[in-house]
C-alpha cells in the first residue's frame, strides 16, 4: 500500500509531499482507517527514565514540529512520539526549497531551520491530544538569539511544556541554526546543562513531579571532543541522551547531484556515524544511562543493531519516509529481549 502511495508522493516537491502525507494521515486517523491498514505492533514494554513505553520505537523530532498531528501519528503504532523542535516564538525557518531527497541513498538533506509556530501553539496541541502514549517535546533556540543567551530560550520552552508532556529534549545539534552546535563545545556545554538541570529541578519542585530531560547530540565529532562531551553529559545530572541528529558529512553521498545542498543529511548515510556515537556513549556513560539511538534505521535489523550497541529506545524519521509505517512494526518485532 505505502509503496504505491510513495510513488505518488515522490513526484511532489518533498515539503509538499510531507504536507499532503500529514493531511492524509489526519483523515485516515479520523475515520479509524490507520489501525486497519497498519495494525499496531504487539506491546513490547520498555521501562526507561521512570516512564513506561508501550514499545521502544519512537518518532524522531522534526516531522511534527508543532504537534499538529499527534493523534494521527500515535495511531501508527509508535511507542512514543517526539514533537518539535519548538522555539519560544514562531519563526518561518529558511527559504524554500529546504528539503531534498537522495532516493538512491535512502537519504534526505534538510535545512528547515526550526520553522515552527512557537511554543504556545505546541502547548495548545499537547493539551488537546487524545493519544495516551509517551510524548516528548524537543526544544531549541530562536534563530536570532545570541549563543550566550541560548539558555534562556531553552528555559522558556521547558517551563511552558513541563506540565504537558512526558519528557523534554534539549536540541543543541541541528546544523541549520547558525552556531547552535557551538553549544556542544566544552566551553558552553557544562554551563548550559548545569543551568537547565537547575530549571528542571525547580520545575519538578513546583509541579511536584519529575520530567526527564534528555540532550540530543550530533554525529560529527573529533574523537577527543566526543569523549569530553560525553563525560560532561554524564556528570551533568541530565536524564538521558539522544544520538544522533543529522550529519554535515557528505562522503557517503559525494557522487549524488544534490550532495552539495547545504543542510543535515539523514537516513542510511548517517548510520555509521550515529552508531559510533551511540556505542561510545554506552561505553563512557555506563550500563544504566538512558540512551535513545536514532539515525539511519531503515529495517528491523538496523533497530536491533542499535539495541545491541546500547540503545534503550530508538527513533525513526527518514526510514519512515522511504519504508512507510510498516517499518515501526518491523523494528518492534526485531527488538531483542535483552541487550
Distance CA 157, CA 139 (A): 6
Decide if residue 99 touches ligand FMN (CB under 6 A).
yes
Task: Kindly tell me which residue out of 21, 51, 60, 309 binds ligand FMN, with binding defined by CB under 6 A.
Answer: 60
- Would you state the cell numbers that stand for residue 226, as one nine-digit string? 566526543
Task: Kindly tell me which residue out of 81, 135, 316, 327 binds ligand FMN, with binding defined by CB under 6 A.
Answer: 316
Query: Where does this chain touch ligand FMN (CB under 6 A) — which range of 48-56, 59-67, 179-187, 281-289?
Result: 59-67
Distance CA 198, CA 273 (A): 31
Q: Closest approach of Cβ 314 to ligand FMN, in Å?
A: 9
Residue positions annotated with a catalytic role: 174
Task: Kindly tell me which residue out of 29, 108, 172, 331 binds ligand FMN, with binding defined by CB under 6 A.
Answer: 108
- Would you state the cell numbers that stand for residue 326, as one nine-digit string? 510498516
Decide if residue 155 touches ligand FMN (CB under 6 A).
no
Under 8 Å between Cβ of 31 and 311: no
Under 8 Å between Cβ of 271 and 296: yes
Decide if residue 177 touches ligand FMN (CB under 6 A).
no
User: For ligand FMN, which is the closer residue by CB, 33 or 121?
Assistant: 121
Q: Closest approach of Cβ 325 to ligand FMN, in Å?
A: 14
Closest-CA residue to 122 (of 110, 138, 134) = 138
Q: Closest approach of Cβ 137 to ligand FMN, in Å?
A: 11
User: For ligand FMN, which is the closer residue by CB, 30 or 178?
Assistant: 178
Closest-CA residue to 268 (of 30, 46, 142, 105) = 105
The helix/strand count (H/E) of the chain reads as: 12, 13
Q: Closest approach of Cβ 208 to ligand FMN, in Å?
A: 29
The total of other beta-carbon atoms located within 10 Å of residue 159's CB is: 16
Under 8 Å between Cβ of 331 and 314: yes
Query: Where does this chain touch ligand FMN (CB under 6 A) — which range of 25-33, 72-80, 193-201, 290-298?
Result: 290-298
Count of residues that bind ligand FMN according to CB under 6 A: 26
Task: Kindly tell me which residue out of 141, 216, 307, 329 binds ligand FMN, with binding defined by CB under 6 A.
Answer: 216
- Geometric angle at alpha carbon 237, from 236 and 240, rounded to 5°: 100
What would the DSSP string read from start to end of 264-297?
EEEEGGGHHHHHHHHHHHHHHH-TTS-EEEES--
User: For ligand FMN, which is the closer residue by CB, 24 or 33?
Assistant: 24
Binding positions for ligand FMN, 234-253, rule CB under 6 A: 245-246
Task: Kindly tell me which residue out of 65, 181, 276, 306 binds ligand FMN, with binding defined by CB under 6 A.
Answer: 65
Task: Kindly tell me which residue out of 72, 81, 102, 112 binds ligand FMN, with binding defined by CB under 6 A.
Answer: 112
| All residues at 6 or more sequence positions from 76 whose CB lies less than 8 Å from its CB, including other chains | 25, 34, 38, 40, 325, 328
Task: Kindly tell me which residue out of 41, 62, 136, 212 binds ligand FMN, with binding defined by CB under 6 A.
Answer: 62
Distance CA 24, CA 235 (A): 44
Residues at the site binding ligand FMN, with contacts judged by CB under 6 A: 60-62, 65, 85, 99, 108, 110, 112, 138, 171, 174, 216, 245-246, 266-267, 270, 294-297, 316-319
Amino acid at each position: 500500500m505505502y509503496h504505491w502511495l510513495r510513488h505518488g508522493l515522490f513526484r511532489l516537491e518533498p515539503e509538499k509531499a510531507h504536507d499532503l502525507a500529514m493531511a492524509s494521515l489526519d483523515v485516515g486517523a479520523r475515520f479509524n482507517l490507520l489501525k486497519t491498514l497498519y495494525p499496531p505492533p504487539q506491546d513490547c514494554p520498555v521501562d526507561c527514565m521512570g516512564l513506561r513505553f508501550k514499545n521502544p520505537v519512537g518518532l524522531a523530532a522534526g516531522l511534527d514540529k508543532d504537534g499538529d498531528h499527534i493523534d494521527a501519528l500515535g495511531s501508527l503504532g509508535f511507542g512514543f512520539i517526539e514533537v518539535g523542535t519548538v522555539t519560544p516564538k514562531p519563526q518561518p525557518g529558511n527559504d524554500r526549497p529546504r528539503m531534498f531527497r537522495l532516493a538512491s541513498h535512502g537519504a534526505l538533506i534538510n535545512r528547515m531551520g526550526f520553522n515552527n509556530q512557537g511554543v504556545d501553539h505546541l502547548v495548545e496541541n499537547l493539551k488537546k491530544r487524545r493519544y495516551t502514549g509517551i510524548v516528548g517535546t524537543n526544544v531549541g533556540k530562536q534563530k536570532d538569539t545570541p549563543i550566550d543567551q541560548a539558555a534562556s530560550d531553552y528555559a522558556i520552552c521547558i517551563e511552558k511544556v513541563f506540565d504537558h508532556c512526558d519528557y523534554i529534549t534539549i536540541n543543541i545539534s541541528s546544523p541549520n541554526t547558525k552556531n547552535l552546535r557551538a553549544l556542544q563545545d566544552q566551553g558552553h556545554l557544562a554551563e548550559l546543562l548545569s543551568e537547565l538541570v537547575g530549571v528542571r529541578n525547580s520545575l519538578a519542585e513546583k509541579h511536584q513531579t519529575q520530567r526527564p530531560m534528555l540532550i540530543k547530540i550530533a554525529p560529527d565529532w573529533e574523537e577527543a571532543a566526543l569523549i569530553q562531551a560525553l563525560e560532561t553529559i554524564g556528570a551533568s545530572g541530565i536524564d538521558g541522551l539522544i544520538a544522533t541528529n543529522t550529519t554535515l558529512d557528505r562522503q557517503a553521498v559525494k557522487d549524488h547531484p544534490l550532495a552539495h545542498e547545504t543542510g543535515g543529511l539523514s537516513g542510511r548515510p548517517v548510520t555509521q556515524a550515529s552508531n559510533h556515537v551511540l556505542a561510545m556513549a554506552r561505553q563512557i556513560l555506563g550500563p544504566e544511562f538512558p540512551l535513545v539511538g536514532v539515525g539511519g534505521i531503515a529495517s528491523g535489523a538496523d533497530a536491533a543493531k542499535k539495541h545491541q550497541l546500547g540503545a534503550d529506545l530508538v527513533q525513526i524519521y527518514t526510514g519512515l519516509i522511504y519504508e512507510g509505517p510498516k517499518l515501526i512494526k518491523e523494528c518492534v518485532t526485531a527488538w531483542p529481549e535483552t541487550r
